[in-house]
Structure 1
Amino acid sequence: MFSLFQVNGVSHNLPVIVADGQLRAYQHGTNILVQTNFGLTVSYDLVYQARVTIPGSYEGQTCGLCGNYNGREDEEFLLPNGRTAPDEAAFGSAWEVEIPGASCTDRCAGNSCPVCEEKKKDVFRGRNYCGLLTDPDSPFAACHGVVSPSVYQSNCLYDVCLGNGDSQVLCQSIHSYVTACQEAGAPIQPWRSASFCPVSCPANSHYEVCADLCTTTCSGDIMDCPETCAEGCQCDDGFFFDGQGCVTLESCGCFERGRYYKPNETVLMSECQQSCTCVPARGVTCKAQGCSREEICQIRDGVRACVSKDIPKPSCSVVRCREGTICKMINGQAECVPVSQTTCWAGGYLHYHTFDGRVYDFHGTCNYTVAKTCRDDSVLPSFHVIAKSENSGNTQVFYIESVTVQVDGVTVTAARTEVGFVGCGHALTGGTYVNR
């Protein structure tokens, strides 16, 4: 799966370290991890599942689709105004995030969503389908006592049914349980084969049920790598992960000031006043440069560049924001902004499991607040996690197109487009985006 990573709208290659080390992003198996120094971890598999983990100090401090984390499942469906939503549809719609140019469609929620006939479910309960998750002799048996497979099997049955038995849907559903198990430290036995959920790894790499990309990168040992496993593609001996694939040491680029540069990659820095190039074996060299009188420095499509002044600028005059928010120009973009260790996950097509354990379904195509800090008087660092959901052509089947994390003035976005890019400050670096 290909990904794009941006920081404040600028594309970056993984790994990325920003905000003086307060926020880091890197590849962990098939997932992208975004971590902060105050305990927030966001994991995204680029299509099926996003997981948000926060420390216990945030109890009672959050809101959004992941709930308020107050220990009570019956108080999860709170609207932005603090009132209780009448149902899942009203709750989900209330946490839409207005994005200029993006449209939202609330397809269904709860009992209004499509249902699967029991006859079809019986077929998919077999060991060749979702039944593998709960089989006592399956490769996941050692995890059953650590992470219950029941919810994952239920979601699998629903999703595979709506996908008419699609093998990719099945494999993604099983992978979501594998991720939960591995994050919990439970052992997983090999479960993929050439005929069942095969993984196609890029050149110079191979699949492992417990891959290690974090300590074998071109950037060297710069990350506080997780102790847990994650299945994915492991670089062959003698090769290193450069954010997109496995290359020889001689083909590695440069890592400087928290950013990885591809060999011979050139980017504009300091409001286009510097042109910096990665010279293999020598590092990053910069020289003065500037825009002409007919140009201005702007970030377009994740790349900072000198662009013609004749190109219309984004404007708040054409943006309509929801009640309680106003439009502001941020880094040259019109955005609607508010006037004023537990894990939650969104997965499947689309199922939610809140910080307090409540499970519900809400299907819609929009940008949604998954979780954020909601108490203005809190002394804890604030954060905002947004997920964008889309349907895949089948109007009943949804996927997560991108995940955005906002922390301390920095915005990073991981999206399913090109592998290993990150966006930073409205510039493009590889699989992920970071804004400052």
Structure 2
Amino acid sequence: VNNHRTRLPISLAQGKFQLQQKGSFVLIKTDFMLKVLYNWDGHLMVKIPSSYSGKVCGMCGNSNDDPQDDALLPDGTLAQNAVVLGQVWKVLGDHRVCLDSCGGECKRCSWRETAKYNTESYCGLLTQNPGPFRACHDTVHTDIYLKNCISDLCSYEGLHTVLCQALNAYVESCQEEGIVLPDWRTAARCFPFCPANSNHTSCGTACPTTCNDAAVPSDCTSSPCVEGCRCTEGFVLDAGKCIPKSECGCVFGDRLYGLGEEFWGDDGCTKRCVCEKERGKAVCYQTSCRAKEECGVKDGIRGCYPTSYGVCTALGNTHYKSFDGRWFAFQGTCLYQLVGLCKKSTGLVDFQVLVQNGLVDGRSPSFIALVRVKVYGNSITISRNDPNKIT
């Protein structure tokens, strides 16, 4: 949330929107009834209220009950194909390498593959009548799910886990409509995995007990039941695991933190907090970032990060470049300290990086032969003589 790693559930903006676990989905719900559901496994649903009809745009269309004008470009004209549609709605500013198409010829099903995967041993199970999905056929049409299932199996050469993902997408759509399909996993041989202290249910609560029940929407109990893993009696859901209620952490600023977890209590890195195991409450103290550090968020974690990095290099025939850019050659073959903390200092972790040069044919020094890192009471050795091994 805002680039911070966050435990679910959580309520934000004075309760105007919440995030919670709903079966296999994470549900993002706002006070104006926008709902976004994603199952971390390729199934995404976005629901908007009727008040937004004809007033939205993007790859999902405009929600005006007319599918003929869904592929609109920003200028109001129709896109010639899906690639063009994606190109015009691409969000700029994302610097990751990406492709607007397959990057070549897209994989297409042969007629033999289509016929094979359309049988009841594969995707055809969706349309079997009578069959495990029959109760939902009149509510959620199978056409697009069948087509997607066959296409996915062609791409992954009939991999069974892909079949289960495709069938599960249909089941999840049915459950959103309040329809339970209890027997499909047995028929399809798609057996679920649940973490310790939990069991699988085809119709469980949409709002399981968590370590932060106050963040769960008040209307959650009226939601249709969902398939998923249910914690056994005495355990609650936390970070995808079922833990004893006594092991729940601390709620601080509407966010849940684990027992013993340290975190910053403000956006300026002036308040450092820890969730105390003994009291189950967050205790904070005033502090600040050190010199040449700045407060920021990286990989979802707020912290004090260096404003720059010193880089020392050793390469080739024992050539060295110091942190400040000085080059020199050194051919000694003993074990040497490349860098380490000179004196113990408050707030700085003691460490050492050691290096040893090797000999060619027992005579001429050549290349780095061994690197050893010592930190937090551990010693890690990487040797040129033992490739792909770390001791």
Q: TM-score, normalised by structure 1?
A: 0.66
Aligned pair partner of 2:170 in 167, 173, 177: 177
Distance 2:165 2:158 in 1: 12
Distance 1:310 1:125 in 2: 57
1:33 aligned residue = 27
Aligned pair partner of 2:234 in 230, 238, 248: 238
**Range 81-90 or range 42-51, more displaced:** 81-90
Equivalent position amino acid for 1:284 in 2: A
Runs of 4+ that moved beyond 4 A: none
Aligned pair partner of 1:275 in 268, 272, 277: 272
Aligned pair partner of 2:138 in 119, 133, 145: 145
Aligned pair partner of 1:301 in 279, 299, 313: 299
Distance 1:276 1:86 in 2: 55
| Aligned 1:58-207 pairs, distance under 5 A | 58-108=52-102, 113-193=106-186, 196-207=189-200
SS at match of 1:179: helix
Distance 2:106 2:307 in 1: 48
Equivalent position amino acid for 2:177 in 1: A
User: Does the CA contact (< 8 Å) of 1:15 and 1:24 recur in 2?
Assistant: yes
Equivalent position amino acid for 2:99 in 1: T
Equivalent position amino acid for 1:151 in 2: I
Q: CA deviation at 1:210?
A: 2.0
Equivalent position amino acid for 2:288 in 1: G
User: Does the CA contact (< 8 Å) of 2:259 and 2:280 recur in 1?
Assistant: no
Distance 1:194 1:278 in 2: 46
SS at match of 2:289: coil
Distance 1:300 1:194 in 2: 45
Q: CA deviation at 1:213?
A: 6.1
1:10 aligned residue = 4
Distance 1:195 1:81 in 2: 46
SS at match of 1:105: coil
1:211 aligned residue = 204
Distance 1:210 1:177 in 2: 15
1:49 aligned residue = 43
**Range 149-158 or range 91-100, more displaced:** 91-100
State the Cα RMSD in Å: 2.1
Distance 1:258 1:194 in 2: 43
Give the share of equivalent positions with the same residue, in percent.
36
1:424 aligned residue = none
Q: 1:335-390 CA deviation, whole Å, 9 max, x = no partner?
A: xxxxxxxxxxxxxxxxxxxxxxxxxxxxxxxxxxxxxxxxxxxxxxxxxxxxxxxx
User: Does the CA contact (< 8 Å) of 1:213 and 1:235 recur in 2?
Assistant: no
Q: 1:273-309 CA deviation, whole Å, 9 max, x = no partner?
A: 1112222443222221111222111111111111122
Distance 2:136 2:154 in 1: 25
Distance 2:157 2:242 in 1: 36
User: Does the CA contact (< 8 Å) of 2:54 and 2:62 recur in 1?
Assistant: yes
Distance 1:193 1:262 in 2: 37
Number of aligned residue pairs: 304
Distance 1:63 1:307 in 2: 39
Distance 1:36 1:24 in 2: 7
Q: 1:245-296 CA deviation, whole Å, 9 max, x = no partner?
A: 0000111112233211111111113210111222244322222111122211
User: Does the CA contact (< 8 Å) of 1:60 and 1:70 recur in 2?
Assistant: yes
User: Alpha carbons of 1:311 and 1:214: their partners in 2 closer, same or farther (altered >3 Å)?
Assistant: farther
Which structure 2 residue ranges, 5 or more long, are not aligned? Answer: 311-391
User: Does the CA contact (< 8 Å) of 2:206 and 2:225 recur in 1?
Assistant: no
1:362 aligned residue = none
SS at match of 1:158: helix
Distance 2:137 2:151 in 1: 20
Q: CA deviation at 1:83?
A: 2.6
SS at match of 2:184: coil
- Higher strand proportion: 1
1:310 aligned residue = 308
SS at match of 2:210: coil
Q: 1:5-29 CA deviation, whole Å, 9 max, x = no partner?
A: xx11111111111111112111111
User: Does the CA contact (< 8 Å) of 1:140 and 1:189 recur in 2?
Assistant: no
Distance 1:21 1:257 in 2: 12
Distance 2:109 2:188 in 1: 26
Q: CA deviation at 1:98?
A: 2.4
Equivalent position amino acid for 2:20 in 1: Y
Distance 2:248 2:164 in 1: 33
User: Does the CA contact (< 8 Å) of 1:218 and 1:242 recur in 2?
Assistant: yes
**Range 197-206 or range 81-90, more displaced:** 81-90
User: Does the CA contact (< 8 Å) of 1:15 and 1:243 recur in 2?
Assistant: no
Q: 1:176-218 CA deviation, whole Å, 9 max, x = no partner?
A: 1011000011121232249811211111111111233623112
